[in-house]
């Protein structure tokens, strides 16, 4: 890896000043950044370690029913926070379906939002990648692209965002709190990541130096606690990124959907909110026909970006399953294999 | 947690014997506390670090390297390229015997495969060496890569695997098919897979004049010595290899690899000790792999379900510059009785690193295809898969007609099937669901692996203080070889384990042959057994010729060595300690040696192989096609069990590898560039614990008087065979979809 400077600021103000320097990168737990640096994909000249900044590691359950999650809160700490998991069970389920226990113990809230795609051509510095090297081309097109995007991709980039955590967060209207040299601001998570278009190198709305300080879930997000699930299809039972995933959160009244929230993961370069499907579900009976119709609507704009047409139908079925599970109610305890199609195991959480 | 039963251990324990006891690994505490020092943990005074730069193209030549940029990086000492690489005494493309594989050692600017070493950067720190390698920014003159099994005209190799004929035939194939009332012809694909022991290849090399000392993981130290000696023009005795711990081998550490030799060259170039450790992605190219195969099976059976003819053809790939032909079709030689069997191979040359022996080479992909085809044939004959296998049970070796040295396969079928509950299996697919509505399927496969043995030597010493020493340059890959060999040694010397000093893992000790072919316990163990017998015989001669000894005149009745004493066989109350015998003879110690080789007469007379039966249950999500192996039961018979704990672990490890082969493992190769795009552990999937919720291995009793003095057959590889087919067959049984391309992925069974 390249030689770099390392700074460990004591205050948020110092951090964003340092983070705005040319070619600086924030270092949280480094579960993704270190791999990128070892592979020569990321070559920052300054690492700004935010690991010891005060106040970023708090989980605040707000009185209005929402929650505020500090950017340095570890995935495992959040998932195993009992009161948080009760209010936002699909979020806990998504967190525990991600990575491995060791990674979840280290990986942070802010870092999860900012993890990079798993596209092999992005990680391989000998391949052409518009995201890594704007204008270079995209070797994923026509290459090994079985797991690539089916929504929102462009000729310049067909990668996906791999996060599990971000999927229910997007469904639940999470808000990202930012601090930059110009001061604080907020962005809806749904608007935080950018689709590739002709500028796949630009992945988020973050301005130079801007730092994620917290992620907030609004009070209304807790209203779905009784009917909130996350379903993740993965090629081995643990430690695998999603082929496709979906979060489904419902409010029901007498078997009729009064509100629905649906988001999909690993289908696009951002967590994919299916607003049209949500709207179509409202007022419908919570049954298989309505769920299938919602799934059709959610994927109506999907198309293969390569050897991945199966992901479109798979995504429909994942939406149906997530909605069905949500309708039948959030389980009292997290399943032993969170978000897995395979249940019936002894719960561990 | 996986379910691991140890219930059967007691059955194998023999009173007063170390053999048969389920001892834990001698080095277990060292490894679990991090105090075992692997090759990459070694440090030497003045040592510097080397990092490989590897090619990002699969074919062409390197036109430039920015050596100046690398050299200018702080800490970089030297950049080794074809321009300044130390001269070798033997060109690394020379090939004097089939086990001498061509190596890429910076002899030219040619690139023959992706990830081929093209330079080595040597620096004061690992970080500087790594960055120096990145700064080389190679430029290439690239030629189109030839990839895949259809990219070249196939050739027919005369020899395959370790030197078997590429085509073999028995009986009248045409007559066999003419007599068949049921025929199937099916084709299976298996992918390229890469050995990825947790410990990558690593070396610490230090020269002292023409004397070379090396810390490196090796499955064959004596062979490595010979190879290095030839390349550097020095005497093998001047090469000292230490290899006490391997973090896995699986075949890729059998022959010393090019990158390890580059570490030695780097040490010579800079005149200092050098450490070189492969990065994970560098494991995908220069250190071997399992070649892809496309296999066609053509089976005929009569109305009763008796096979009448079997043709197994395998196409595979090798490199453009060397030959290793995956002997996949030979899997059909040894299991099913058919009056006519023909196996053939062909291969294409593609722009890849040379494939190599990888755990169950040939047997693993060959068994995957054969056991799937047998399942398909059983269905075509309207028979239960186990009944079909029993109907076609081979009482003599199918190709040669030789009797088996031992074969407890019927007991494996019976015990495994009973434990699994096979009798309750409905014949038709899609008949079973679990409580969550998941499709459930049951499948089985037969496991088989040849019982091999290689020449090996050992030395034994008995001392006047009642202790003993056994020395052998054996290889512990993590499988527990030293533990089991020390048990053999204790029995061979008639000593309690506590009084035995067991020395191993160094090339300065007697040559234990290669830890491969599942033959290490048979080879090294037999040598130890021989060394023990030799030293005990010498000791007994002293005692029996000494009038002062209670054993005087035992003569033809002979003696028994046990617990540090020799006893008269015809009157065990008459005995004395080894120390007493040596003291009277005025000796401090007495030494013996053992040297063994396969018994040619026994091999000519008998077919020798281990057997097993594997039963698998899968659940498949009917919407997603997601597959999970919920239960695996294997029953294996492999002669004498030296250590049931280690043996069971070997079976379980093999079966888990079978899960990997069936459902996960494959190199995702970009067909345009010939590069492996998932060369990391996040994306090159092998099973995790949660993928193996229930796995059991049954150790079936078997006694073999012919394989070797100990009656030991190998257990290291057989677990993969049978398991892959069992899982594929269970997937069919669950879904009704027959997938003939491995690994089986969800889109193949999700019913699009």
Q: Break chain A into its structural domains and give their ranges.
A: 5-52, 222-327
Q: Nearest-5° angle of CA B377, CA B380, CA B384?
A: 75
Looking at the complex, does the CB of residue A99 fall below 8 Å from at least one CB of chain B? no
Question: Which pLDDT does position B16 carry in this prediction?
Answer: 65
Q: Contact B203/B42 with Cβ under 8 angstroms?
A: no
Interface contact B737, partner A, CB < 8 A: no
pLDDT (0 to 100) of residue B17: 82
B255 part of a folded domain:
yes
Query: End of a domain among B597, B630, B647?
Result: B597
Count how many domains chain B has: 4
- As for the ipTM of the complex, it is 0.96
B676 DSSP β-pair partners: B669
Yes or no, beta carbons of B623 and A144 under 8 Å apart: no
pLDDT in tens, B434-473: 999 999 999 999 999 999 999 999 999 999 999 999 999 9
- Please give, rounded to a whole number of angstroms, the shortest distance from the CA of B244 to a CA of chain A: 29
User: Is B13 contained in some domain?
Assistant: no
Q: Give pLDDT, residue B3.
A: 37
Q: Check B134 against A2: CB less than 8 A apart.
A: yes
A313 touches chain B (CB under 8 A): yes
Q: Cα separation of B702 and B711, whole Å? A: 9
Same domain, B221 and B362: no
pLDDT of residue A2: 86
H or E element, residue B562: strand B559-562
Do B472 and B517 belong to one domain? yes
Q: How confident is the model at residue B556 (pLDDT cuts 50, 70, 90)?
A: confident
pLDDT of residue B57: 98
The reply to whether residue A235 touches residue B752, judged by beta carbons under 8 angstroms, is no
Q: Is A139 on the interface with B (CB under 8 A)?
A: yes
To the nearest 10 degrees (0 to 180), the angle between helices B520-544 and B481-493 is 20
Contacts with B626 from chain A: Cβ below 8 Å: 233-234, 341-342
Question: Shortest Cα distance from A90 to chain B (angstroms)?
Answer: 20
Mutant choice from B125, B434, B623, B630 vs A, greatest count of A C-beta within 10 A: B623
pLDDT tens for each residue of B126-164? 999 999 999 999 999 999 999 999 999 999 999 999 999
Q: Please state, in angstroms and rounded to a whole number, the distance separating the CA atoms of residues A25 and A21.
A: 9
For every residue of chain A, which 3-state class applies, written as one string?
CCCCEEECCCCHHHHHHHHCCCCEEEECCCCCHHHHHHCCCCCCCEEEECCCCCCCCCEEECCCCCEEEECCCEHHHHHCCHHHHHHCHHHHHHHHCCCCHHHHHHCEHHHHHHCCCCCHHHHCCCCCCCCCCCCCCCCCCCCCCCCCCCCCCECCECCCCCCCCHHHHHHCCCEEEEEECCEEEEEEHHHHECCCCCCCCCCECCCCCCEEEEEEECHHHHHHHHHEEEEEECCCCCCCCCCEEEEEEEEEECCEEEEEEEEEECCCCCCEECHHHHHHHCCCECCHHHHHHHHHHHCCCCCCCCCCCHHHHHHHHHHHHHHHHHHCCCCCCCCCCCCCCCCCCCCCC
Identify all chain B residues contacting A126, using CB atoms and an 8 Å cutoff: 56-57, 675
With respect to residue B303, please indicate whether it lies within any of the assigned structural domains.
yes
Residues B230 and B301 occupy one common structural domain? no
Q: Do B747 and A314 touch (CB under 8 A)?
A: yes
Q: Which residues of chain A have a CB within 8 Å of the CB of B663?
A: 236
Query: CATH assignment of A5-52, given 3.40.430.10, 3.40.50.300, 3.40.190.10, 3.30.43.10?
Result: 3.30.43.10
The answer as to whether B19 is a domain residue is no
Q: Are residues B212 and B179 in the same domain?
A: no
The model's pLDDT over B394-415, given as tens digits with 9 standing for 90+, comes to 999 999 999 999 999 999 999 9
B746 close contact with A: CB closer than 8 A: yes
| A contact test, residue of B682, B689, B692, B693 with most A CBs within 10 A | B682
B381 and B238, same structural domain?
no
Q: What distance in Å separates residue A174's CA from the closest CA in chain B?
A: 28
List of chain A residues with pLDDT < 50: 345-349
- The CATH superfamily holding the domain A222-327 is CO dehydrogenase flavoprotein, C-terminal domain (3.30.390.50)
With respect to residue B474, please indicate whether it lies within any of the assigned structural domains.
yes
pLDDT value of position B15: 52
Dist. CA B396–CA B334, nearest whole Å = 9
Residues B392 and B314 reside in one and the same domain: yes
Per-residue pLDDT tens over the stretch B38-65: 999 999 999 999 999 999 999 999 999 9
Is residue B436 less than 8 Å (CB to CB) from chain A? yes
- Residue of chain B minimizing CA distance to A244: B624
Same domain, B301 and B209: no
| Any A CB within 8 A of B570 CB | no
Same domain? B117 vs B236: yes
Q: Is B621 on the interface with A (CB under 8 A)?
A: yes
Q: How far is A12 from chain B (nearest CA, A)?
A: 31
The verdict on whether B717 is a catalytic residue reads: yes
Tell me, yes or no, if B1 comes closer than 8 A to chain A by beta carbon. Answer: no
> Measured between beta carbons, which residues in chain A are less than 8 angstroms from residue B689?
238
* Residue range B667-687, pLDDT digits in tens: 999 999 999 999 999 999 999
Q: Which residues on neighbouring strands pair with residue B470, listed in sequence order?
A: B460, B502
Asked if the Cβ–Cβ distance from A144 to B670 is below 8 Å, we say yes
Q: Verify whether the Cβ–Cβ distance A342 to B624 is below 8 Å.
A: no
Alpha-carbon span B27 to B93, nearest angstrom: 39
Which of B131, B669, B750 lies nearest to residue A310, judging by beta carbons? Answer: B750
B27 in a structural domain: no
What CATH number corresponds to the domain at position B668? 3.30.365.10
Domain range enclosing B152: 146-200+291-399
Q: Which residues contact B552 (CB under 8 A, 6 or more apart)?
A: B543, B544, B545, B546
- pLDDT value at B424 more than 90: yes
Q: Chain A partners of B690 at a C-beta cutoff of 8 Å?
A: 236-238, 337
Q: Is B314 a residue whose pLDDT tops 70?
A: yes
Question: How many CB pairs below 8 Å do chains A and B form together?
Answer: 99
Asked if B664 and A236 come within 8 Å (Cβ–Cβ), the reply is yes
pLDDT tens column, B251-304: 999 999 999 999 999 999 999 999 999 999 999 999 999 999 999 999 999 999
Asked if residue B163 is part of any domain, the answer here is yes
Q: Are residues B354 and B366 in the same domain?
A: yes
3-state secondary structure string across B239-288: EEEECCCCCCCCCCCCCCCHHHHHHHHHHHHHCCCEEEECCHHHHCCCCC
Same domain, B191 and B206: no
Does some domain include residue B591?
Answer: yes
Query: Are B701 and B567 part of one and the same domain?
Result: no
| Domain edge (last residue) among B597, B614, B629 | B597
Determine which of B114, B667, B683, B693 to mutate to test the interface with A (most A C-beta atoms within 10 Å): B683
> What mean pLDDT do residues B514-541 have?
97
Using the Cβ of B7 and the Cβ atoms of chain A, whether some distance falls under 8 Å is answered with no
Residues B623 and B717 grouped into a single domain: yes
């Amino acid at each position: 890896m390249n030689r770099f400077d390392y700074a460990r600021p004591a205050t948020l103000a110092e951090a964003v000043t340092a983070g705005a320097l040319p070619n600086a990168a924030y270092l949280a737990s480094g579960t993704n950044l270190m791999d990128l640096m070892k592979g020569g994909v990321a070559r920052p000249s300054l690492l700004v370690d935010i690991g010891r900044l005060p106040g970023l590691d708090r989980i605040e359950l707000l009185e209005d029913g929402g929650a505020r999650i500090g950017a340095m809160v570890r995935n495992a700490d959040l998932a195993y926070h009992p009161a948080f998991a009760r209010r936002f069970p699909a979020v806990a389920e998504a967190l525990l379906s991600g990575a491995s226990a060791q990674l979840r113990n280290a990986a942070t809230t802010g870092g999860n939002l900012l993890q990079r795609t798993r596209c092999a051509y992005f990680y391989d510095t000998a391949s052409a990648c518009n995201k890594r090297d704007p204008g270079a081309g995209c070797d994923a097109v026509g290459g090994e692209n079985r797991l690539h995007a089916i929504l929102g991709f462009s000729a310049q980039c067909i990668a996906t965002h791999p996060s599990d955590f971000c999927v229910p967060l997007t469904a639940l209207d999470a808000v990202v709190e930012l601090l930059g040299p110009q001061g604080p601001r907020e962005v809806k998570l749904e608007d935080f990541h950018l689709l590739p278009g002709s500028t796949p190198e630009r992945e988020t709305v973050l301005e130079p130096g801007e730092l994620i300080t917290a992620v907030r879930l609004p009070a209304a997000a807790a209203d779905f606690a009784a009917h909130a699930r996350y379903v993740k299809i993965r090629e081995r039972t643990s430690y695998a990124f999603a082929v496709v995933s979906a979060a489904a959160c419902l409010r029901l009244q007498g078997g009729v959907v009064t509100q629905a929230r649906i988001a999909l993961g690993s289908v696009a370069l951002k967590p994919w909110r299916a607003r049209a499907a949500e709207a179509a579900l409202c007022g419908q009976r919570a049954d298989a026909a309505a769920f299938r119709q919602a799934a059709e609507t959610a994927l109506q704009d999907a198309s293969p970006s390569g050897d991945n047409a199966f992901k479109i139908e798979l995504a429909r079925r994942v939406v149906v399953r997530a909605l069905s599970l949500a309708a039948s109610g959030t389980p009292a305890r997290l399943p032993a294999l969170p978000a897995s199609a395979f249940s019936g195991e002894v719960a561990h959480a | 947690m996986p379910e691991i039963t140890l219930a059967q251990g007691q059955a194998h324990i023999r009173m007063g014997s170390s053999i048969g006891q389920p001892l834990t690994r001698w080095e277990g505490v060292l490894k679990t506390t991090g105090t075992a020092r692997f090759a990459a943990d070694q440090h030497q005074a003045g040592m510097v670090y080397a990092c490989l730069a590897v090619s990002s193209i699969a074919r062409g030549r390197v036109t430039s390297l920015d050596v100046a940029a690398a050299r200018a990086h702080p800490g970089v000492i030297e950049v080794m390229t074809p321009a300044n690489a130390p001269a070798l005494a033997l060109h690394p493309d020379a090939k004097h015997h089939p086990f001498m594989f061509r190596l890429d050692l910076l002899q030219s600017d040619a690139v023959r495969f992706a990830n081929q070493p093209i330079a080595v950067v040597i620096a004061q720190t690992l970080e500087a060496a790594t960055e120096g390698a990145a700064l080389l920014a190679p430029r290439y003159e690239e030629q189109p890569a030839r990839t895949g099994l259809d990219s070249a005209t196939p050739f027919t190799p005369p020899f395959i695997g370790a030197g078997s004929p590429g085509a073999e035939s028995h009986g009248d194939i045409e007559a066999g098919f003419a007599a068949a009332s049921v025929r199937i012809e099916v084709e299976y694909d298996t992918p390229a897979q890469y050995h990825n022991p947790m410990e990558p290849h690593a070396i610490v090399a230090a020269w002292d004049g023409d004397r070379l000392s090396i810390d490196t993981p090796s499955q064959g130290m004596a062979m490595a010595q010979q190879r290095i000696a030839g390349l550097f023009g020095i005497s093998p005795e001047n090469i000292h290899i230490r290899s006490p711990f391997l973090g896995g081998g699986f075949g890729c550490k059998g022959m010393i690899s090019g990158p390890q030799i580059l570490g030695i060259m780097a040490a010579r170039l800079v005149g200092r000790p050098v450490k070189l450790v492969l990065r994970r992605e560098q494991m995908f190219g220069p250190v071997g792999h399992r070649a892809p195969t496309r296999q066609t099976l053509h089976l005929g059976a009569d109305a009763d379900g008796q096979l009448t003819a079997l043709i197994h053809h395998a196409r595979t790939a090798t490199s453009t510059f060397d030959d290793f032909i995956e002997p996949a079709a030979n899997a059909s030689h040894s299991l099913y009785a058919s009056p006519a069997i023909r196996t053939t191979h062909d291969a294409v040359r593609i722009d890849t690193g040379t494939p190599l022996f990888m755990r169950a080479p040939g047997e693993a992909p060959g068994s995957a295809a054969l056991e799937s085809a047998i399942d398909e044939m059983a269905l075509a004959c309207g028979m239960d898969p186990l009944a079909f296998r029993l109907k076609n049970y081979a009482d003599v070796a199918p190709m040669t007609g030789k009797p088996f040295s031992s074969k407890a396969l019927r007991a494996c079928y019976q015990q495994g099937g009973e434990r699994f509950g096979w009798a309750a299996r409905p014949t038709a697919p899609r008949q079973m669901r679990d409580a969550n509505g998941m499709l459930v399927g049951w499948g089985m496969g037969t496991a088989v692996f040849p019982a091999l043995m290689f020449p090996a030597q050992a030395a034994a010493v008995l001392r006047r203080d009642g202790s003993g020493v056994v020395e052998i340059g054996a290889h512990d890959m993590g499988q527990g070889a030293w533990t089991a060999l020390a048990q053999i040694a204790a029995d061979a010397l008639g000593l309690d384990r506590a009084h035995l000093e067991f020395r191993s893992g160094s090339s300065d000790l007697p040559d234990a042959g290669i830890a491969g072919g599942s033959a290490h316990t048979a080879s090294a163990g037999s040598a130890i057994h021989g060394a023990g017998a030799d030293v005990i015989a010498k000791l007994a001669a002293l005692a029996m010729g000494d009038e002062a000894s209670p054993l005087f005149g035992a003569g033809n009745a002979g003696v028994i060595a046990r617990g540090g004493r020799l006893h008269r066989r015809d009157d065990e109350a008459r005995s004395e300690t080894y120390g007493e015998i040596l003291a009277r003879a005025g000796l401090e110690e007495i030494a013996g040696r053992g040297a063994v080789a396969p018994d040619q007469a026994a091999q000519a007379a008998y077919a020798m192989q281990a057997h097993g039966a594997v039963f698998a249950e899968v659940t498949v999500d009917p919407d997603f096609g997601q597959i999970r192996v919920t239960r695996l039961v294997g029953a294996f018979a492999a002669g004498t069990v030296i250590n049931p704990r280690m043996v069971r672990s070997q079976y379980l490890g093999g079966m888990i590898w079978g899960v990997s082969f069936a459902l996960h493992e494959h190199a995702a190769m970009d067909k345009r560039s010939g590069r492996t795009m998932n060369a990391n552990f996040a994306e090159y999937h092998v099973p995790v614990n949660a993928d193996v919720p229930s796995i059991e291995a049954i150790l079936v009793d078997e006694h073999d008087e012919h394989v070797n003095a100990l009656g030991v057959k190998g257990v290291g590889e057989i677990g993969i065979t049978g398991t892959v087919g069992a899982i594929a067959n269970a997937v069919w049984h669950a879904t009704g979809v027959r997938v003939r391309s491995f690994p089986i992925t969800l889109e193949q069974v999700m019913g699009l």
